[in-house]
């Protein structure tokens, strides 16, 4: 059993709201001056301070709580759903709902009405908070669920990505919002006196229901207050000492995803990093915001780095303020970092590019590569974070440990491990052993210094005639090819050879040069050959190399292999 070597952190028994917002002295919010900026809306520059955020959250929480005579109200312990692109309204309604003792389930803002209906019903949500642009989808969802218009309208709260709810200029509401309760309506009903009002929230009470990415099947981990307080604290001690209020972070990752939730909506407040909220990823906007707001921190995902590695905007903006970029949620190829990104560091500038690892089930952070080691250990997810324990095992019941330096399935133990999956005792039992070990399903190696490397997902390893082929390794290699912009590898069944064969899908850098069937075939063959001179024989792309326009990915940057498998089946059937 491996233990963490990071300094211990306290295990707290308060709610996450108390952890972030309790005043330790007059004028102070969560241990920092209330006057410090908390969130900034990138496009307009509008901002709110920590003290404003706390007061808005307490008012919003009050407005939501159990007013039977009014529209849109919820009882202690009810679940509310947030369905919105990134917006400055998010921290207010999220922390406000939590202050009121509610659970939040966060929906992918790209969901259609059917997908939304599934999550709404499955999580037993009572209300939906939606941005104006989401109103038609939410209304369609309620129609699908058989609710009358009057009943549906009572369950919708409209969010705004401007400060009309905090003394900003009035903006006319959209016609879609007619007759619906808006967040500003809830802010004027009163205020929760102080955070003690939710003192009833026990540390092991569920506060968030973030649906996992659905890469291998949808599950919904129950994340508790203590999971969140712990993850905030263990993230804090992997960071260098910070200057409160002075080192802005870019809020680019979708806030409904637990990685963004934990970092942009929680960790930022715990260390007083102002967050510059960007609504959608666009490489030029991203670079422009870094330059304009002198961003210091970026919690990001590999696809953002893949784009930045090639995008001309990187050279036309001053990005020298960037000091720390942390990539997580999907594998980050070490060659991409070495060959494409670090060379772009302006002379004298120190932008560390580091990596973290985790899962929705571990709230999410489990490993992080400390910035001091980020140049030395490129490709590693770093060491086990504070207070956690890990094992690398060979079999389902954990009886056989992997030998030193050998791959094994990573198991995690600690206070960040979820309570279990919602409404799924079987899945919970399969994932967590009776003594609390969570089986990640990921295969990892630990080196002699305690740094971990993710080999691949256990279920995604391609089996070529008994040999294991990790698709992530081939993808990382393909990304170093000068003519490949993006790549994905899956295993395809070969009936003749009775095995799986690794097959690559690649996006050319110059698609106009690889247009005809013949050009695609020639390009594919040249790539397969190129790979053969660089990997062991069993990893050759025997399933072929196909050219595609874009690699299908989730918002958090995971390759949607299921879609590629469907594509491969369709191709084979042709």
Interface with ligand ATP (CB under 6 A): 212-219, 328-331, 355, 357-360, 381, 440-442, 454, 457, 556, 558
Strand partners, 445: 453
Least distance from C-beta 532 to ligand ATP, angstroms? 25
Distance separating alpha carbons of residues 268 and 562, to the nearest angstrom: 34
The nearer residue to ligand ATP, 59 or 215, going by C-beta atoms, is: 215
Three-state DSSP at 392 gives strand
DSSP bridge partners of 206 = 224
- Residue 10 is given by DSSP the state P
Nearer to Mg ion, 370 or 441 (CB): 441
Nearest-approach distance from CB 402 to Mg ion, in angstroms: 20
Taking CB under 5 A as the criterion, which residues in 477-516 touch Mg ion? Answer: none
Least distance between ligand ATP and beta carbon 39 (Å): 24
Residue 499, CA distances (Å) to 491, 539, 549, 563 in order: 9, 13, 28, 21
3-state class (DSSP) for residue 366: strand
Q: Measured from the CB atom, is 313 or 431 closer to Mg ion? A: 431
**Least Å from the CB of residue 301 to Mg ion:** 15
- Rounded to the nearest whole angstrom, what is the least distance from the CB of residue 354 to ligand ATP in the complex? 10
| Two structure tokens written together for 141 | 């969802």
The gap from C-alpha 550 to its chain's centroid, in whole angstroms, comes to 21
Q: Which is nearer to ligand ATP, 14 or 216 (CB)?
A: 216
Least distance in Å: CB of 390 to Mg ion? 17
Q: Which of 187, 285, 269, 274 is CA-nearest to residue 236?
A: 269
Q: How far apart are CA 13 and CA 346, in angstroms?
A: 45
From Mg ion, ligand ATP, none, interface partner of 125 (C-beta below 5 to 8 A by class): none
In order of 185, 206, 292, 352, 536, the CA distances from 84 in angstroms are: 18, 22, 25, 31, 46
The footprint of Mg ion on residues 182-241 (CB under 5 A) is 212
Question: Closer CB to ligand ATP, residue 213 or residue 374?
Answer: 213
* Residue 328 interacting partner from Mg ion, ligand ATP, none (CB closer than 5 to 8 Å by kind): ligand ATP
Nearer to ligand ATP, 542 or 553 (CB): 553
Helix H segments across 187-243?
A: 225-236
* Shortest separation between residue 458's beta carbon and ligand ATP, angstroms: 9
What secondary structure letter does DSSP report for 512? G
Q: Which is nearer to Mg ion, 123 or 212 (CB)?
A: 212
The item of Mg ion, ligand ATP, none sharing an interface with residue 88, based on CB under 5 to 8 Å by kind, is none
Per the CB < 8 A criterion, the answer to whether 48 and 56 are in contact is yes
The listed partner (ligand ATP, Mg ion, none) that binds 329, CB under 5 to 8 Å by sort, is ligand ATP
CB 440 within 8 A of CB 357: no
The site partner of 30 among Mg ion, ligand ATP, none (C-beta below 5 to 8 Å per kind) is none
**Nearby residues of 375 by Cβ (< 8 Å), 6 or more positions away:** 342, 352
- Interface residue list for Mg ion (CB under 5 A): 212
């Amino acid at each position: 059993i491996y233990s963490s070597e990071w300094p211990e952190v306290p295990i707290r028994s308060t709610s996450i709201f108390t952890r972030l917002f309790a005043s330790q002295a007059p004028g102070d919010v969560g241990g920092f001056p209330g006057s410090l900026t908390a969130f900034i809306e990138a496009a307009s520059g509008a901002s709110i301070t920590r003290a404003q955020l706390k007061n808005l959250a307490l008012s919003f929480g009050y407005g939501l709580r159990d007013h039977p005579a009014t529209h849109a109200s919820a009882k202690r312990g009810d679940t509310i759903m947030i369905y919105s692109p990134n917006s400055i309204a998010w921290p207010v309604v999220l922390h406000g709902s939590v202050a009121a003792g509610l659970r939040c389930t966060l929906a992918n803002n790209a969901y259609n009405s059917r997908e939304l209906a599934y999550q709404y019903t499955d999580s037993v949500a009572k209300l939906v908070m939606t941005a104006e642009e989401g109103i038609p989808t939410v209304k369609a969802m309620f129609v699908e669920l058989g609710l009358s218009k009057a009943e549906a309208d009572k369950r919708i709260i409209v969010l705004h990505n401007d400060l009309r709810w905090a003394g900003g200029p009035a903006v006319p509401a959209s016609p879609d919002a007619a007759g619906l309760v808006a967040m500003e309506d809830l802010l004027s009903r009163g205020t929760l006196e102080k955070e003690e009002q939710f003192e009833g929230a026990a540390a092991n009470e569920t506060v968030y229901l973030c649906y996992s990415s659905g890469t291998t099947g949808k599950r919904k981990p129950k994340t508790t207050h203590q999971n969140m307080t712990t993850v905030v604290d263990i993230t804090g001690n992997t960071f260098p000492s910070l200057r409160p209020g002075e080192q802005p972070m870019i809020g680019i990752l979708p806030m409904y995803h637990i990685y963004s939730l934990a970092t942009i909506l929680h960790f930022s407040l715990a260390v007083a990093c102002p967050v510059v909220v960007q609504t959608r990823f666009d490489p030029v906007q991203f670079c422009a915001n870094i330059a304009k707001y002198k961003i210091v921190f970026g919690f990001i995902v590999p696809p953002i780095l893949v784009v930045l590695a090639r995008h001309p905007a990187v050279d036309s903006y001053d990005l020298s303020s960037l000091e720390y970029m942390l990539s997580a949620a999907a594998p980050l190829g070490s060659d991409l970092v070495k060959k494409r990104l670090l060379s772009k560091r302006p002379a004298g500038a120190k932008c560390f590019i580091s990596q973290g690892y985790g899962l929705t089930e571990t709230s999410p952070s489990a490993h992080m590569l400390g910035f001091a080691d980020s140049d030395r250990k490129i490709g590693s997810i770093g060491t086990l974070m504070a207070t956690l324990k890990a094992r690398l095992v060979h079999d389902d019941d954990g009886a056989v440990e992997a030998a030193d330096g050998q791959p094994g399935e990573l198991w995690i133990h600690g206070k960040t491990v979820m309570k279990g999956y919602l409404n799924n005792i079987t899945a919970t039992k399969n994932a967590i052993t009776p003594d609390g070990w969570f089986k990640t399903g990921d295969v990892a190696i630990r080196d002699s210094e305690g740094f971990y490397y993710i080999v691949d997902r256990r279920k995604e390893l391609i089996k070529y005639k008994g040999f294991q082929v990790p698709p992530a390794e081939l993808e990382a290699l393909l990304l170093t090819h000068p003519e490949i912009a993006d790549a994905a590898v899956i295993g395809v069944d070969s009936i003749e050879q009775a095995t799986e064969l690794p097959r690559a899908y690649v996006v050319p850098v110059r698609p106009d040069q690889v247009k005809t069937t013949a050009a695609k075939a020639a390009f594919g063959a040249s790539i397969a050959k190129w790979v053969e001179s660089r990997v062991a024989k069993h990893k050759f792309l025997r399933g072929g190399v196909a050219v595609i326009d874009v690699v299908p990915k989730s918002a958090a940057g995971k390759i949607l292999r299921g879609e590629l498998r469907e594509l491969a089946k369709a191709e084979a059937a042709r």
